[in-house]
Structure 1
Amino acid sequence: MGEFELIRHYFAAAACAQAAEGVVLGIGDDCALLDVPVGEQLAVSTDTLVAGVHFPADANGRLLGQRALAVSVSDLAAMGATPLAFTLALTLPDVCTDWLADFTAGLDSMARHCGVRLIGGDTTRGPLSMTLTVFGRVPSGQALTRSGARAGDLLCVGGPLGNAAGALPFVLGERAAQEGAAELLAHYWTPSPQLALGQVLRGLATAALDISDGLLADCGHIASASGVALIVEEGRLPLSAALRACVGEQNARQLALGGGDDYVLAFTLPTEKLDALRASGQPVYVIGRVEAGQGVHLQDAEGRTIKPPLSGYQHFGSQCD
């Protein structure tokens, strides 16, 4: 099967590749054309996922399709954007029709769940990897960024932490299935971008991002961009019963602090906005506060600063001279 036949059969024919509001021209030309309403801005983000780094090389195609798009759309949620479209650049070692059918089905399922359309991309031969670029729209001047946190704000997250990191031993086949494993695996393979929360946070939150590399590491980005210190209170971390059952209380806290792939939102919020956010019905867990200073600081129940065992994931931990 040639490249263009592959695109026509598996991707151009998918439900998520059909016409939609805001997509003037999709797959089939040199460029796609998007229509952004007057008074709105285009939000754009790109993610690359590589076999053996971001997922096992033998990953189920359907699960991988779901996950690949979800983690990319999560960036739109972090900006408070409404999803519009995405492109996919897929590199394959060979053409396996069964795997492609499964991958496309998973991709299409997540696309429909998120309300986003496939508008183009590329396919090529090589080690398995995929690069997705997502496009969204947000009212001008209302996008959430990392740079607005202020001393006195609350530090919040939009859901339990550490579930995906807790799933990793099951994903890699290092542990046999046990009680709670299914819930953790669902969080790993089918993360749900917090799009509704992100849109509600427009005009309420002062800064936001999605947690991909671990709570402490990602909060460091807010602290740096905003020029403030973030205080994380260990005893207030939201932990699921499934994570506690699988790894125990102490390990659950460590994974919540330093494990990656949560894809829930972390955000700073003026204290007076908390009741309005809770009234919206969106999930909110207060886990700390913003103070004058710099960096991220972890405190125990007595308010003492403690050193975390994990700080988060980095692709390049050291640099060549």
Structure 2
Amino acid sequence: MSAAYGEFDLIRRHFRRERPLRQATLGIGDDCALLTPAAGQQLAISTDLLVAGRHFLADVDPFTLGHKSLAVNLSDLAACGARPLACTLALALPEIDDDWLQAFAAGLFALADAHGCELIGGDTTRGPLTIGITVFGDVPPAQALLRSGARPGDGIYVSHGADQGLGDARLALQLLLQEDPALARWPAAVRAQLLQATRARLEQPQPRVALGLALRGLASACCDLSDGLSGDLRHILDASGCAALLQAPALLQAASPALRQQDATLALPYALAGGDDYELLWTAAPEHHQQVLSAAQSCGLQATCIGRIEAGNGLRLQQADGHIAPIASTAFDHFR
């Protein structure tokens, strides 16, 4: 439903909340918000931009879009081991649609409230549907999880749910787009069932904030999985000056259960290059192995050790029969 009012009424109706601020000193309404970090804390800041047709489908439910818009940013804070504090929202809209805005705001605020992350400002304008969110978190000095701390001998770990796995989001996307010929050969009833099982993983990913906090002091390096495991792991390797050897059987344990049960040959490539998983990928010294598993369990998650860090450079995969081969770079890149 289109509405006949302007930018500032839009903000007041849908994004300005009548409740006391807990994290920010000053919120929406002035030229700047004021955020005062707790004494002795460092600010962790991350920005993500979502563009219609590039990051989400045009007909996506606005509630789930509001959720995902914030979730991808909170996932960055999780990868840094930071506690969420606040966020800003920049929103370009082709027109004002009250029903759409109400649902979008509800999805965003539901996740924001779950993580104590206040909306403290932003901007709106007319244009192609584009969503930009900046999040602010805090972390004690020298406790932030970085990409640059991996060392030879460290284990490589990935998080996942008990009934979820790497590649779920890509499976859901390919089922929606119908671009993968391998999936097209499956019966329509099977495709519908799998889409129902995995769609939330694509449209409503759950940022692993609690796990990021639990990994402080345990993880030597960390990042979140947004563009595909093989590409995101390379970020850690490049920053740390190391190489990695992944184990195919272990990686399959962390892969999408739906894919493993339907077609195990697809599970590995989808797990390696799926994208949009928003799980955490981290390294840890061997002496922290049990603590790492316990940290994930305390957050209601599983952690699977999928390989190890080695000296040198490059990324390789070892199959169950012992065969080792390099892994090609398959991360998503907006300009390739």
Q: Distance in 1 between matches of 2:207 and 2:83?
A: 11
> Residue 256 of structure 2 contacts residue 271 of structure 2 at CA under 8 Å; is this kept in 1?
no
Q: Which amino acid aligns with 1:111?
A: A
For 1:63 and 1:279, the matched residues in 2 are separated by: 31
1: CA distance between counterparts of 2:270 and 2:150? 25
Aligned to 1:243, which of 259, 279, 283?
Answer: 259
1:159-238 equivalent positions in 2, closer than 5 A: 159=160, 160-172=165-177, 177-237=191-251, 238=254
TM-aligned CA deviation for residue 180 of structure 1? 2.9
Alignment of 1:1-321 (within 5 A): 1-13=5-17, 18-159=19-160, 160-172=165-177, 177-237=191-251, 238-245=254-261, 248-280=263-295, 281-282=297-298, 283-308=302-327, 311-317=330-336
Distance 1:276 1:191, change over 3 A: same
- Give the whole-Å Cα distance in 1 for the aligned partners of 2:148 and 2:49: 25
Q: Which deviates further from its counterpart, 306-315 or 197-206?
A: 306-315
Equivalent position amino acid for 1:242 in 2: A
Q: Distance in 2 between matches of 1:171 and 1:44?
A: 33
Structure 2 letter corresponding to 1:271: P
CA-based RMSD of the aligned residues comes to 1.7
- Superimposed CA distance per residue, residues 203-254 of structure 1 (whole angstroms, 9 cap, x where no aligned partner): 01100000000000000000000000011112111123223345x1111211
In structure 2, how many angstroms separate the alpha carbons of the residues matched to 1:287 and 1:257? Answer: 11
Residue 15 of structure 2 aligns to a residue in which SS? helix
Ranges in structure 1 where 5+ consecutive residues have no aligned partner? none
Cα distance in 2 between the residues matched to 1:293 and 1:80: 27
Q: For residue 303 of structure 1, report the CA deviation from its aligned partner.
A: 3.1
Kept after mapping to 2: 8 A contact 1:229/1:292: yes
Cα deviations across residues 89-123 of structure 1 (Å, max 9, x unaligned)? 00001111111111111111111222211001000
Q: Please give the secondary structure, in 1, of the residue aligned with 2:60.
A: coil
Contact (CA 8 Å) 1:208, 1:222: kept in 2 or not?
yes
Contact 1:228–1:292 under 8 Å retained in 2: yes
Letter in 2 for 1:22: Q
Q: Residue 6 of structure 1: SS of its match in structure 2? A: helix
Structure 1 pair 251–173 and aligned structure 2 pair: CA distance change class (3 A): closer
Q: Do the aligned partners of 1:184 and 1:243 also contact (CA within 8 Å) in 2?
A: no
Superposed displacement of residue 269, structure 1? 0.6
Task: Please tell me the residue identity of whatever aligns with 1:244.
Answer: R
1:249 partner amino acid: A
Whole-angstrom CA distance in 2 between matches of 1:307 and 1:249: 20
Equivalent residue of 1:4, what SS? helix
For normalisation by structure 2, the TM-score amounts to 0.89
Indicate if the aligned counterparts of 1:82 and 1:199 stay in contact, CA closer than 8 A.
Answer: yes
Question: SS state of the match for residue 276, structure 1?
Answer: helix
Contact 2:84-2:138 within 8 A present in 1 as well: yes
1:112 and 1:139 map into 2 onto residues whose CA distance is 23
Structure-2 separation of matches of 1:91 and 1:166: 29
Moved more, 111-120 or 143-152: 111-120
CA contact under 8 A between 2:242 and 2:312: conserved in structure 1? yes
Could you say what secondary structure the match of 1:298 adopts? strand
Q: 1:243 to 1:115 in 2, by over 3 A?
A: farther
- Residue type matched to 2:175 in 1? F
2:222 is paired with a residue of what secondary structure?
A: strand
**How many angstroms does 1:171 deviate by?**
3.6
Instruction: Say whether the 8 Å CA contact 1:74–1:195 is kept in structure 2.
Output: yes
Residue deviations 1:10-42, cap 9 Å, x none?
Answer: 1003x7xx4333211111111111121111100
**Aligned counterparts of 2:158 and 2:54: Cα–Cα separation in 1:** 26
Alpha-carbon deviation of 1:310?
Answer: 6.9
8 A Cα contact 2:94 2:129, kept in partner: yes
Counterparts of 2:57 and 2:177 in 1: how far apart (Å)?
7
How many residue pairs align between the two structures?
313
Equivalents in 2 of 1:115, 1:236: separation in Å?
A: 35
